[in-house]
Amino acid sequence: MAANLRIALAGLGTVGTGVIRLLADNGALIASRAGRGIDIVAVSARDRQRDRGIDLAPYAWEDDMTALAARDDVDVVVELVGGSDGPALALARSTLGAGKSLVTANKAMIAHHGLELARLAEDHAARLRYEAAVAGGIPIVKGLGEGAAANRIERIYGILNGTCNYILSEMEDTGRDFAEVLSEAQALGYAEADPTFDVEGVDAAHKLAILASLGFGTRLDFDGVEIDGISRIRAADIAQAGALGYVIRLIGLADCELAGGGGRHLFQRVAPYLVPVSHPLAGVDGPTNAVVAEGNFVGRLLFEGAGAGDGPTASAVVADLVDIARGSAAPAFSLPVEALEASAPVDPGHRRNRAYLRFMVADRPGVLAEITAALRDAGVSIESMIQLGHPDDEENPVLVAMVTHEGPESAVTKALDLLAGSASLAEEPLVMRLLG
Ligand SMILES: NC(=O)C1=CN([C@@H]2O[C@H](COP(=O)(O)OP(=O)(O)OC[C@H]3O[C@@H](n4cnc5c(N)ncnc54)[C@H](O)[C@@H]3O)[C@@H](O)[C@H]2O)C=CC1
Ligand SMILES: N[C@@H](CC=O)C(=O)O
Ligand code: NA
């Protein structure tokens, strides 16, 4: 057997402690599969004294996590701290720059700096692995990069944020309030340190940008992701969607179009969608994630599993360590960085779909006519409509919800532009597309 792989852990929170427990419980099994054991040599976190329910005595402690990269007795640094920049990025740079391999669960850092880090890894014959960064425990990075490597991937979409999925499915099942369910998701360890990253769609966008690069062989383009979150969704929207035969899910969706001059146009969107109850993604509840990838030979692949939490995320981190212990030299994004194609963001206006539109309006004559006139003038055709009034209270706004016939997205945008600033609207309209 080869010498054991010697690792250092930076970050001892939900995921870091999960990795220590997993290696302790499954160490022998992992050693037999990897062909050598995996030993934790050193650790670093913010607070050495904190009771984590884990004995840290066997490991060397570093107050400054970047010191982990300089240790002669460490082959691989595992970054489980978080944050796109700051100490996590400094550690990643110094680790790869020192020719050591890096395993990370940090999607924010990979989405923003993945190409720079992948290039650094290539230049120093080191490995960069980040399976845990996308859809937690689901082996989607390996699934796309290895299992589906023979295909041209045409479309990728799915549920990429466990916190949002937990919130939406709990609201759906219990009728409870958004804020109450969010604090529960935080207590369960699903949410990011700043949960606005989850509920405003940014975390899912980090993951989508990574998947798009991996799947399409294009350069990471996080700035090109159109992002909308779930914080404006009300219990009434969930009820209306239910009455129409849909559930609401935060979906990340990416595809690649050939542009006129032969280049590629990348479409990347994270937004709440109405998903038909018969669709496989509609049954995905709680912190579960699910990713659909469509390949030109394999057809439709569905990957489903726990997208967050200590055990599943640790499972993905350790899978990357096994990969490195076995000597895999695959590039971080399936292709060498220089081979990744540049792309430009697509204008989604010509895309056709049906949309759910929700308006909070003043309960007075002429308001509905104003909305329907704007829709008519923009060429949006209404398929169904409902107004939820409260007869004893004419002061507060009422909810008007409608579903449009299929049409170009630009038409809905135009209608909303026509209504912008209208005194009849108590808040900005909510638009959610129907997943086709
Ligand atoms: N919790 C989850 O379900 C998942 C988390 N991730 C990612 O894994 C990473 C870690 O997440 P969690 O374990 O949930 O976070 P956490 O907040 O539970 O733990 C973070 C750890 O990093 C340490 N830390 C933070 N800032 C530091 C600093 N400036 N210097 C030294 N130590 C510092 C903290 O002391 C703590 O030990 C993040 O990148 C997160 O996005 C990825 C997939 C799932
Ligand atoms: N906050 C993230 C954690 C995993 O990536 C989520 O809720 O999905
Ligand atoms: Na994963």
pLDDT exceeds 70 at position 392: no
> Does the annotation flag 11 for ligand binding?
yes
Best probe residue, ligand 1, of 17, 313, 320 (max atoms within 8 Å of C-beta): 313
Q: Side chain identity at 77, as an amino acid letter?
A: V
Q: pLDDT tens digit string along 120-169?
A: 999 999 999 999 999 999 999 999 999 999 999 999 999 999 999 999 99
- From the alpha carbon of 313, which atom of ligand 2 is closest? 4
Q: What is the pLDDT of residue 176?
A: 86
> Does the annotation flag 372 for ligand binding?
no
| C-beta 204 within 6 A of ligand 1 | no
Q: What is the pLDDT of residue 391?
A: 63
Span from the CA of 81 to the centroid of ligand 1 (angstroms): 4
Q: Which two tokens stand for residue 48?
A: 């050495």
| C-beta 16 within 6 A of ligand 1 | yes
- All residues with CB under 5 Å from ion ligand 3: 131, 134-135, 138, 140, 316
Mean pLDDT, range 86-113, rounded to an integer: 98
The closest residue, in CA terms, to atom 3 on ligand 2 is 308
Q: What is the pLDDT of residue 221?
A: 97
- From the alpha carbon of 17, which atom of ligand 1 is closest? 13
Span from the CA of 341 to the centroid of ligand 1 (angstroms): 32
Choose the CATH number for 5-133 among 3.40.50.11750, 3.40.30.10, 3.30.300.30, 3.40.50.720: 3.40.50.720
The helix/strand/coil state of 223 is: helix
Reported residue count of the chain is 436
The closest residue, in CA terms, to atom 4 on ligand 2 is 308
Mean pLDDT of the chain: 95
335 DSSP assignment: B
DSSP-assigned letters across all residues of 136-163: TTS-HHHIIIIITTTS-EEEEEEE--HH
Q: Which two tokens stand for residue 272?
A: 């709440």
Q: What is the pLDDT of residue 5?
A: 98
| C-beta 9 within 6 A of ligand 1 | no
Residue 310's contacts (CB-CB under 8 Å, 6 or more residues apart) are 14, 15, 17, 18, 21, 189
Q: What is the CATH number of domain 350-434?
A: 3.30.70.260
Residue 35's contacts (CB-CB under 8 Å, 6 or more residues apart) are 1, 2, 325, 326
Tell me where in the chain the CATH 3.40.50.720 domain(s) lie.
5-133
147 DSSP assignment: I
Ligand 2 proximal residues by C-beta, below 6 Å = 136, 161-163, 190-192, 198, 203, 307-308
Q: pLDDT tens digit string along 188-228?
A: 989 998 999 999 999 999 999 999 999 999 999 999 999 99
Tell me where in the chain the CATH 3.30.360.10 domain(s) lie.
140-308+331-348
Q: What is the CATH number of domain 140-308+331-348?
A: 3.30.360.10
- From the alpha carbon of 65, which atom of ligand 1 is closest? 31
Span from the CA of 215 to the centroid of ligand 3 (angstroms): 14
Span from the CA of 329 to the centroid of ligand 3 (angstroms): 19
Which helix (H) or strand (E) segment is 207 a member of?
A: helix 202-216
> Using an 8 Å Cβ cutoff, are 205 and 111 in contact?
yes
> Using an 8 Å Cβ cutoff, are 161 and 204 in contact?
yes
Q: Which two tokens stand for residue 222?
A: 């996080």
Percent residues over pLDDT 90 in the chain:
89
Which helix (H) or strand (E) segment is 433 a member of?
A: strand 430-434
> What's the Cα-to-Cα distance from 400 to each of 79, 369, 386, 388, 391, rounded to whole Å?
48, 12, 6, 6, 14
Query: Is residue 100 annotated as part of the catalytic site, yes or no?
Result: no
Closest listed residue to residue 36, CA positions, set 326, 237, 292, 350: 326
Percent residues over pLDDT 70 in the chain:
98
Q: Side chain identity at 68, as an amino acid letter?
A: L
Q: What is the pLDDT of residue 147?
A: 96
